[in-house]
Structure 1
Amino acid sequence: MTQHDWAQDLAPWIRLEQIPGVGPETARKLLNTFGLPENIFSASFSALQKVVSERIAQALLAPPSDEASALIDKTLTWAEQPGNRVLTLADADYPKTLLDIPDPPLILYAKGRIDLLQNRSLAVVGSRNATTQGVLNAEKFSEVLSQAGLTIISGMALGIDTAAHQGSLRGAGSTVAVIGTGADIVYPARNRTLAHQIAAEACIISEYALGTPAIASNFPRRNRIISGLARGVLVIEAAAQSGSLITARMAAEQGREVFAIPGSIHSPLSKGCHLLIKQGAKLVESAQDVLEEIQHHDVPLRPTPAPSPAAKAPAASPILVAMGFDPVAPDVLATRCEIDIAAIHAQLLTLELDGLIEMLPGGMVRRLATS
């Protein structure tokens, strides 16, 4: 296909998305009736009125607005740059898993390795305000699952999403970031370095037109793509009311598996995961729990390496043993260990520097599971 033919095929798709009043549902009705977008724009007014309102039919027959024409030109120029692709529902490279969901996006704007969109995938999501333990879990689980061959899908938000992308980039399965802005915008700005790494080594996708800024309502909507691309969704830390639970609900509605990592009964960020488990999500304690659930699919996954039998964990300090894994106040630890409070604070500082505990708001401390 020549560049002219390619641009001629793509332009009507972009134009269709920009017609006032034509949302995804209306666009699908038009496509089901007329086929490709160019057929919609060449249809008669009477034929269009059988599918859409008079106002929308008139808008479809009107010449493209200056704004729509400018966006088409901008998008075609962007798509000519190395690593950039615009995938439509008619494109052979459009991810097949998204064709199974009720409302697949008409267009996907992609940067990087679009081959990852066809891989067996798992979504990993969770709180933006994650604890240190949650970040460690997200990074390690994603790394191990990626090493086993799963592509990790997430939303490039701060917290759990960021850790999931960083961990999965170290494995063969790599990662796909589904963003809630235009593909030419990095959000949040703190993830600029990560975004450039994913674009270079993995894949970033968006359903939103180039130049679309960060709009709050767009992020919950993009969650259906995160879950739709994946075989299942793993939730790592989520409050009782959170976007991660929206993703999990969408996954269940799409027929995907839902997994959740439990946490302390005292942590607000465990409430969402515990709620999911009560509702039937699979409780996960290790990456192997996830892999075993999806092993029945046709292509075997690489097994995760077993720990060496010769390797022994170092003996835990008495303070760590007394601490357990729930948040605890230093003065309570002093009582449990029968140690002076000043000595407790000195040892807690050492344990924090060694990455074995984290300090929590309110002066509480918590042990980290680092294995």
Structure 2
Amino acid sequence: MDSEHAALLALVRAGGAIGPRKRLLERCGSAEAALSAPSATWRECGFETRLPAPARAADAGDAAWLECEGNHLVGWLHPDYPPLLREIPSPPLALFVSGEPARLWHPAIAIVGSRGPSAGGLRHARDFASTLASAGVSVASGLATGIDTAAHEAALTAGGLTLAVLGAGHGQPYPPSQAPLQARIAGTGVVVSEYPPDTPPRRSQFPARNRILAGLALGTLVVEAGLKSGALITAKQAAASGREVFALPGSIDNPLSRGCHQLIRDGAQLVESPDEILIALPPLATGLGMALERRLAHSEGLERTVKPLVPEPDSPDGDPHGLWQALGHDPTDMDELVSRTGLTAASLSSMLLVMELQGRVSVEHGRYSRKR
């Protein structure tokens, strides 16, 4: 583990309000510089005292977790910190990520609901998740039992991308029976937590988890929820972050429909089919597409200009990466596109997303083609 990661972990484990630690990072430019900053700088950022020297040592458990393949620590100053998450009222200082961090940039819809849903609620969660995943949208949820599990599993079955946000550390699946599903998601999707890997589940952490789930998604769909459901907390945090809230109506005799009906009365968009969400998605994703273009330009070492990074094939810039030609009209998977273009999967994912948002590319079951 490098010294910057060790310093960032020390700041994460220091606890307390996120604001002062974020200001300290921005003021100093790195976690390592922050730890060595004078006491006056700490006080100016909102601390009473500097972090004591013993608390600056890296935790052995954190180090061991980071050394495992596929595990990452993405801090506030990291260029891959998800742009949508920066916009919420209280963004986390850092994210512990299992899977490729770039997947956190993929346009996502959060699907949430009751831990004890009806049979109809489970069917709706699966249907919406499957359709969204097949259309190339990431399905995000909280890895709880019930609606969350149905959404994650349906996205995996559809061969799509799914994102799980934890209310505890990666090494503390909750409930423990979710450990196999967590491992499956980490293998093909991404699992994220703001808590160090050994953090046990605590009641107060789950509402905090919900703000990250809402913040990573362009919108939140509530399938079934009682009036005091945690899903309503997620929906309210989504609305507070300026995101769209969707809700499924249900029978007036079903107590699990009352939360959805309340959301609709409060201004949530009533939806009856996944297509209604897909139609609403492109305007919501405009800002994300622009952020992806900027990040791609940075990662490819390209000049930042006003011309698009993925130009139209008949523009004066032609097809500089050869991606349009590589796509053709037949569905092509990512491995084949990597082989045809010589680009990395991470770069291709960003470029394909921009083209998808431009309405030029279709994606189905993880395979891409020119849009007819």
TM-score (norm 1): 0.74
Give me the whole-angstrom Cα distance separating, in 2, the residues matched to 1:272 and 1:209: 32
Give 1:225's aligned residue: 212
**Counterparts of 2:237 and 2:217, CA distance in 1:** 11
Q: Is the 8 Å Cα contact of residues 148 and 172 (structure 1) preserved in structure 2?
A: no
Counterpart of 1:347 in structure 2 is: none
Corresponding position: 1:28 with 2:22: yes
Question: Are residues 1:264 and 2:251 paired?
Answer: yes
Give the drift of 1:247.
0.5
Q: Measure, in 2, the Cα distance between the counterparts of 1:294 and 1:46.
A: 47
Kindly provide the CA deviation profile for residues 198-257 of structure 1, in whole angstroms up to 9, marking residues without a partner as x: 121211110001210110110010101111111100000000111111111111111100
Q: CA RMSD in A?
A: 2.0
Q: Which amino acid aligns with 2:14?
A: I
Aligned to 1:239: 226
Amino acid at match of 2:189: A
CA contact (8 A) 1:263 1:270 kept: yes
- 1:178-213: per-residue Cα shift (whole Å, max 9, x none)? 011101222112222211211212111100012101
Contact 1:7 1:76 in 2 (8 A): no
* 1:80-124 deviation digits (Å, cap 9, x = unpaired): 111111111122222221122222111111112323211011000
Q: Rg bigger for which structure?
A: 1
Q: TM-score, normalised by structure 2?
A: 0.74
- The superposition leaves residues 272-294 of structure 1 with CA deviations (integer Å, 9 ceiling, x where unpaired) of 00001111111111001111111
Please say if 1:64 is aligned against 2:29.
no
91 and 50 in structure 1: CA distance in 2 versus 1, 3 angstrom threshold: closer
Identity of aligned residues (%): 39
Instruction: Give the deviation of 1:69 after TM superposition.
Output: 3.1
CA separation of 1:119/1:294 partners in 2, compared to 1, >3 Å: closer, same or farther?
same
- 8 Å contact kept, 1:119–1:150: yes
User: Contact (CA 8 Å) 2:211, 2:237: kept in 1 or not?
Assistant: yes
Distance 1:251 1:69 in 2: 36
Give the match for residue 331 of structure 1: none
Number of aligned positions between the proteins? 292
Q: CA deviation at 1:152?
A: 0.5
Q: Which structure has the higher relative contact order (CA within 8 Å, separation 6+)?
A: 2
Residue in structure 1 matching 2:194, options 201, 207, 212: 207
Rounded to whole Å, the distance in 2 between the matches of 1:192 and 1:18 is: 24
Matched, 1:283 2:270: yes
Unaligned runs of 5+ in 2: 286-356, 366-372
Which amino acid in 1 is paired with 2:152? Answer: H
Contact 1:121–1:231 at 8 Å: present in 2 too?
yes
- Alpha carbons 1:84, 1:109 under 8 Å: kept: yes
Instruction: Please list every run of 5 or more consecutive structure 1 residues that lacks an aligned counterpart in the other structure.
Output: 1-5, 306-371
- Residues 44, 196 of structure 1: CA spacing in aligned structure 2 closer, same or farther, 3 A cutoff? closer
In structure 1, C-alpha distance between the alignment counterparts of 2:195 and 2:262, rounded to whole Å: 32
The aligned runs of 1:175-186 (5 Å cut-off) are 175-186=162-173
- State which of 95, 117, 124 in structure 1 corresponds to 2:111: 124
> CA distance change for structure 1 residues 299 and 76 in 2, over 3 Å: closer, same or farther?
farther
Partner of 1:17: 12
- CA distance in 1 between counterparts of 2:197 and 2:125 reads 30
- Larger mean CA deviation between 207-216 and 292-301 belongs to 292-301
